[in-house]
Amino acid sequence: MSLTNRQILLASRPQGEPSADNFRLVETPLPAPDALAEGQVLVRHHWLSLDPYMRGRMSEGKSYAAPQPLDEVMIGGTAGEVLASRNPAFRAGDKVVGYGGWQQYQLLDAGQAAALQKVDTSRVPLSAYLGPVGMPGVTAWYGLNGIIEPRAGKTVVVSAASGAVGSVVGQLAKVRGCRAVGIAGGAEKCRYVTEELGFDACIDYREHRDAASLARALKDACPDGIDGHFENVGGMVLDAVMLRMNAFGRIAMCGMIAGYNGEPIPMAYPQLILTNRLRVEGFIVSEQPAAWPPALKELGTLVAEGRLKYRETVAEGLESAPAAFLGLLKGRNFGKQLVKLA
């Protein structure tokens, strides 16, 4: 009996802010599980990851990766179960993660199967491999350890602190003996960052209309200045942090969500990079293969032992993915944004 695969394609490129009209839901046939060709693997996706980087891939502008092609399945991390296999590396029932995209099933040929990774769900939930023990967690781990290089007693600030990446940055900083200060949007998120995640302080950027006001709040939260900053937002938030950075401080540039729709993001105080001899470095975690094994080992252990907390916002069903993604770009999610597919 053949299967029908539901997929969401990129139908058009957004002009400015994206909308649901940029996506299209289609159905395509798949071979029956018992009719796979030699070397093929059929995966049933249980979870789809939605992440801010997808917004950049929707556009044609110059970036670190090629644009998402039109009329093809939207890119995205996935976690699921092998439904059928004629590949010796996998068997039915294996739990796997990969980049299967916005679709219910993925059929991989022999040469593509290496992109799948088997995971152990005995101590770590399958969905966590798309969050704290996946790309977001490794992003946090590398930016903190590879660029900020935290030391006990120093102060680390992270923007979008309640999100999938920021929440891990602060908790790892605490493990390393640092003072961790978050910046987030709304009182509820700030309470979560301090009371559940264990940050020392969290500032609600919505209560501050300009960089000077936010910088004053940072002065109170960071009495010894800021030694390391993990940037996910840009704009006014970055300007405020720059005003409080210590000499020889380090800034890991992970995301600039303030400009994901093409808006210019001028920097108000670039001279501080020179006067404070700051190290400002952008990075893409897929370009750091050596970081993945030690990062996943530590992150997996911390999650399994309950020492790394995380929260998930779950949308139900593939058809909910566009709306959930648009909400993610506006900060409506709490923690990691996922779509439950099975």
**What integer pLDDT is reported at residue 120 of this predicted model?**
97
Which residues 6+ apart lie within 8 Å of 159 measured at CB?
Answer: 166, 182, 183, 205, 229, 230, 231, 232, 233, 237, 238, 241
Of 251, 271, 286, the last residue of a domain is 286
Q: Are residues 15 and 70 in the same domain?
A: yes
With cut-offs at 50, 70 and 90, classify the pLDDT of residue 1. low
Q: Are residues 269 and 144 in the same domain?
A: yes
Q: Are residues 167 and 114 in the same domain?
A: no
Note the pLDDT tens digit of each residue in 21-53: 999 999 999 999 999 999 999 999 999 999 999
What's the one-letter identity of residue 292? W
Number of domains the chain is built from? 2
**Poorest-pLDDT segment among 9-23, 52-66, 179-193:** 52-66
pLDDT, mean of residues 252-262 = 84
Cβ(57)–Cβ(65) below 8 Å? yes
Q: Is residue 301 part of a domain?
A: no
Give the rounded distance of the alpha carbon of 118 from its chain centre.
Answer: 20
**What integer pLDDT is reported at residue 148 of this predicted model?**
98
**259: CATH:** 3.40.50.720
Q: Is residue 303 part of a domain?
A: no
Q: Is residue 306 part of a domain?
A: no
Note the pLDDT tens digit of each residue in 184-223: 999 999 999 999 999 999 999 999 999 999 999 999 999 9
Q: Are residues 175 and 279 in the same domain?
A: yes
Q: Are residues 194 and 321 in the same domain?
A: no
Q: For the chain, what percent of residues have pLDDT higher than 70?
A: 100
Q: For the chain, what percent of residues have pLDDT higher than 90?
A: 92
Q: Are residues 76 and 165 in the same domain?
A: no
Query: Looking up tokens 């900083």, which residue turns up?
Result: 173
Residue 153's Cβ-count burial label (10 Å; 0-12, 13-18, 19+) is exposed
| DSSP structure class, residue 73 | B
Q: Is residue 189 part of a domain?
A: yes
Is residue 274's pLDDT more than 80?
yes
Q: Are residues 282 and 317 in the same domain?
A: no
Q: Are residues 268 and 144 in the same domain?
A: yes
Q: Are residues 58 and 70 in the same domain?
A: yes
Q: Is residue 214 part of a domain?
A: yes
Q: Are residues 320 and 210 in the same domain?
A: no
Q: Is residue 297 part of a domain?
A: no
Q: Is residue 76 part of a domain?
A: yes
Note the pLDDT tens digit of each residue in 294-316: 999 999 999 999 999 999 999 99
Query: Mean pLDDT score of the chain, rounded to an integer?
Result: 96
**What integer pLDDT is reported at residue 262 of this predicted model?**
74
pTM reported for the whole predicted model: 0.94
What's the one-letter identity of residue 341? L
Note the pLDDT tens digit of each residue in 98-150: 999 999 999 999 999 989 999 999 999 999 999 999 999 999 999 999 999 99
Is residue 62's pLDDT more than 80?
no
pLDDT, mean of residues 180-187 = 97
Q: Is residue 72 part of a domain?
A: yes
Give the rounded distance of the alpha carbon of 109 from its chain centre.
Answer: 28
Q: Are residues 106 and 215 in the same domain?
A: no
Q: Are residues 141 and 267 in the same domain?
A: yes
**39: CATH:** 3.90.180.10
Domain with 218 in it: 135-286
Q: Over the range 181-192, which residues count as b (16 or more CB within 10 Å of their CB) and which as e?
A: bbbbbeeebbeb
Task: Supply 274's token pair.
Answer: 């020179």
